[in-house]
Chain A
């Protein structure tokens, strides 16, 4: 994957999105923040991303629903899911729907960065 990774970060926990975005940007990524599922969808309408990091548990929309819409809008978009502990079932469902991988929240930043880089470099 040449150049900077274009990343869409979707989570309804604003503070988490902000700090995560800061840290990821510092690691050479272009990060677009979305504080809800619908904001994420809106952002994806405006531009293309290489990878989306998507929280599965959000207030306005179920993460799985958002994932379905993402995949419909941009089948090439790679999606990494963030799940709570014990919702492995949802994560597996997501994988079946075309998500590239998942991490349990809270996760180590290094792990996340590594997974994003790996996912981004993978061919679909």
Chain B
């Protein structure tokens, strides 16, 4: 539909543009808000839920692991203590003082439980090692001043912290105190540091998870996989804690000086003397979550992008449609006004024509009267007689012209004659083609008629049929006005149906418009050239006559309008077959 623009509409158009821009923006914002908020909230909730449950699971797993190992280590220590205790209780001080016998016992222990015991020694109340079985030369070694001996003498069982001692290698001691003839003596075993270390070292999770044992003084009891500064936080804080119940495992997070956040799982061992620490970087511990978070963020971002795109495209398209609808409404209003104006102009013209007819008639007759009188003898010799005659003839001529003008005005305003007449279709078509002949010639359009002369006479309002055909022919000529072309009008009978076709090879009608061409006020012609009523009037008339009108059009090929009317309804009475003469 051609858009017209006249100067006083331009301001309005700017305002319109602004209005549609605001409308688009509001729609985009609304769509984005309505979609974003729930989308983001739901994602956040799910993420939070997942994070919470994942964290719970990971921590539960770590705590379970630490607890299991704590139990394992405690059990290990208890077992080793049990080994020594049963040895000391089963055999006498004298028997164990025999080095060969002791060696024998050590071998048996190593065979039964693995190479955990490095050596065994029997020490008397003064701290002198009476006998020794093991790889070192420690017979007669004196432990009288060493801390572990003093502690061991005070209680029945004793497990030392790790220390280097006389042999210069990290180890720890398990000691059992017994009495022989009133004097206490001690059976002690040394636990292989490497073997014990393995118990803890095998706790490796992810890339950064590892475990180690500290004693109450913050000294490392095992060798951690990564360097640990046990005198720094958070270890000091762990050690400061009250001794916990045996089975309790505690978990916390701590960010170190370099900003790395780690999770710590701790459990007290050895009745609270040692603490098993498992630590892992948070990013590693919750790496599954981090991965899920990354994937979610990517999906979220893509989703938001999709919403954004959709919001823009959708809003633009919607507003485009609204703008179109508004434009059409606006045009329709204009055309309604235009049509109304035209109708009132027609009525006015008809009134004026009627009113003017009488005065013109009088003037013409008065002129005629003077002509009559001039024929009398009195005037025969008048010098200006010829000139009088010429002037009077002129008055008559101009009067006739007025009459023609008023007749045209009246024809324009006249309503279509609805009277039903009997007539021959072919003749009517020929009459109309003759009417349009001049225009067709001017537009360089060749008119071709294929009329079936055997068609029966019909009973219709001739004027209405003429109007329909004239509209269709005029439309075809309008379409071909620029390039010329050929106009073909066919009439024939098909199974009792009268078919009239008006076909042009003009530019054709775009498919988008094809469905609307019969709508009132739909026009593709510039304003003032078409009212958009022609085809809708045709449609109305053909429907009223009990027929159908259809259109087939291909852009670049041409357009064919086809009127179909059942002959049964419109056939003239007494006109059965052939010409109804």
Binding site for B on A (CB under 8 A): 13, 15-16, 19-20, 22-23, 26, 57, 84-86, 105-107, 109
Interface contact A16-B362, CB-CB below 8 Å: yes
Distance of B415 from chain A, by nearest CB (Å): 9
A23, A86, A109: which contacts B414 (Cβ < 8 A)? A86
CB within 8 Å for A84 and B361 given contacts A26-B372, A109-B368: no
* Chain B residues within 8 Å of A15, by CB: 362, 366
Contacts of B366 in A (CB 8 A): 15, 19
Interchain CB contact under 8 A, A106 and B403:
yes
Interface contacts (Cβ under 8 Å), in number, total: 50
Task: Say yes or no: B364 contacts A106, CB within 8 Å.
Answer: yes
Note all chain A residues with C-beta closer than 8 A to B360: 106
Q: How far is the CA of A19 from the CA of B399 in the complex (A)?
A: 15
A85→B368 contact, CB < 8 A:
no
Taken together as a complex, chains A and B put the C-alpha atoms of A13 and B410 apart, in Å, by 21
Residue of B nearest to A112 (CB): B365
B357 CB–A CB distance under 8 Å: yes
Contacts A106-B360, A106-B403 given; does A84 touch B365 at CB 8 Å? no
Query: Is there an interface contact between A16 and B357, defined as CB atoms closer than 8 Å?
Result: no
- Can you report 9 residue pairs joining A to B where beta carbons are below 8 Å apart? A16-B358, A16-B365, A19-B365, A19-B368, A85-B407, A105-B357, A106-B357, A106-B399, A109-B365
CB-contact partner of A84 in B357, B364, B372, B411, under 8 A: B357
A96 to chain B, nearest CB (A): 14
Given the complex of chains A and B, what is the CA–CA distance between A113 and B581 in angstroms? 37
The answer, yes or no, to whether B406 is at the interface (CB within 8 Å) is yes
- For the complex formed, measure the closest distance between the CB of B405 and the CB atoms of chain A, giving whole angstroms: 11
Indicate with 1 or 0, residue by residue over B398-410, a CB within 8 angstroms of chain A CB atoms. Answer: 0100010011001
Q: In the bound complex, do residue B358 and residue A85 qualify as a contact, i.e. CB atoms below 8 Å apart?
A: no
Contacts of B365 in A (CB 8 A): 16, 19-20, 23, 106, 109
In the complex formed, the residue of A with least CB distance to B413 is A86
A109 to B400, CA, bound (A): 12
Is B353 engaged at the interface, CB distance under 8 Å to the other chain?
Answer: yes
Instruction: Return B379 CB to nearest CB of chain A, in Å.
Output: 14
The answer to the question of B354 belonging to the interface, with a C-beta cut-off of 8 Å to chain A, is: yes
Bound-state Cα–Cα, A57 to B353, Å = 14
Question: Is B113's beta carbon under 8 Å from chain A?
Answer: no
Complex CA distance for A27 and B360, rounded to whole angstroms: 22
9 closest residue pairs by CB, A with B = A106-B361, A19-B365, A86-B410, A85-B410, A15-B362, A16-B362, A85-B407, A13-B358, A19-B366
Q: Give the residue of B357, B369, B406, B410 whose beta carbon is less than 8 angstroms from that of A22.
A: B369
CA A86 to CA B353, docked complex, whole Å: 11
Chain B residues in 8 Å Cβ range of A84: 354, 357, 410
Q: Which chain A positions have C-beta within 8 A of B364? A: 106
Main secondary structure of the interface of B (DSSP, over half): helix
- Nearest CB of A to B570, in Å: 23
A19 with B357, Cβ < 8 A, contacts A26-B372, A86-B410, A86-B411 known: no
User: Given the complex of chains A and B, what is the CA–CA distance between A15 and B366 in angstroms?
Assistant: 9
* New contact pairs (13) apart from A13-B361, A86-B410, A106-B403, CB-CB < 8 Å: A13-B362, A23-B369, A23-B372, A84-B410, A85-B353, A85-B406, A85-B411, A86-B350, A86-B411, A86-B414, A106-B360, A107-B361, A109-B365
Q: Are B369 and A85 in contact (CB under 8 A)?
A: no
* Chain B nearest CB, measured from A57 CB (Å): 8
Q: With the chains together, A107 CA to B360 CA distance in Å?
A: 10
- Cα distance A105–B364 in the bound complex, in angstroms: 11
For A16, the chain B residues whose CB sits under 8 A away are 358, 361-362, 365
Residue of B nearest to A107 (CB): B361
Question: Which B residue's beta carbon lies closest to that of A110?
Answer: B368
Could you tell me which residues of chain B, from 403 to 442, have a CB within 8 Å of some CB in chain A?
403, 406-407, 410-411, 414
B407 to chain A, nearest CB (A): 5
* Closest CB in chain B relative to A112 CB, distance in Å: 10
Q: Which residues of A contact B369 (CB under 8 A)?
A: 19, 22-23
Q: Which residues of B contact A26 (CB under 8 A)?
A: 372
CA distance A74 to B31 in the complex (A): 88
CB closest chain-A residue, reference B353 = A85
| B399 surroundings in chain A (CB, below 8 A) | 106
CB of A85 within 8 A of CB of B372, answer no
- Residues of chain A with a CB closer than 8 A to B414's CB: 86
Cα distance A26–B371 when bound, in Å? 12
Residue of A nearest to B372 (CB): A26
CA distance A15 to B361 in the complex (A): 10
CA distance A15 to B364 in the complex (A): 12
A86 vs B346: C-alpha distance in the bound complex, in angstroms?
Answer: 14
The complex places the Cα of A57 from the Cα of B406 at a distance, in Å, of 17
Chain B CB count within 10 A is highest, among A15, A22, A85, A106, for A106
Q: How far is the CA of A24 from the CA of B426 in the complex (A)?
A: 45
Cross-chain contact A85 with B361 (CB below 8 angstroms): no
Question: Which residue in chain A gives the minimum CB-CB distance to B408?
Answer: A85
B residues less than 8 Å from A57 (CB atoms): 354
Report how far A15 CA is from B99 CA in the complex, Å.
170
A17 to B368 Cα, complex, angstroms: 14
CB neighbours of B406 from chain A (8 A): 85
A101 to B190, CA, bound (A): 151
CB distance from A12 to the nearest CB of B (A): 9
Chain B proximity of A47: nearest CB distance (Å): 25
Per the bound structure, the CA–CA distance linking A61 and B358 in Å amounts to 17
Chain A residues contacting B410 (CB-CB under 8 Å) are: 84-86
Residue among A57, A84, A85, A109 having the largest count of chain B Cβ atoms under 10 Å:
A85
Shortest CB-to-CB span from A94 to chain B, Å, is 16
Q: Which residues of A contact B368 (CB under 8 A)?
A: 19, 23, 109
Q: How far is the CB of B198 from chain A (nearest CB, A)?
A: 122
Contact of A19 with B362 in the complex, beta carbons under 8 Å: yes
Interchain nearest-CB distance for A45 vs B (Å): 27
Using CB atoms, name the residue of chain A closest to B409.
Answer: A85
Per the bound structure, the CA–CA distance linking A23 and B350 in Å amounts to: 29
B522 CB to closest chain A CB (Å) equals 31
Nearest-CB distance from B400 to chain A (Å)?
Answer: 9
Binary A-proximity of B367-408 (CB < 8 A = 1, otherwise 0): 011001000000000000000000000000001000100110
How distant is the Cα of A86 from the Cα of B413 in the complex, in angstroms?
10
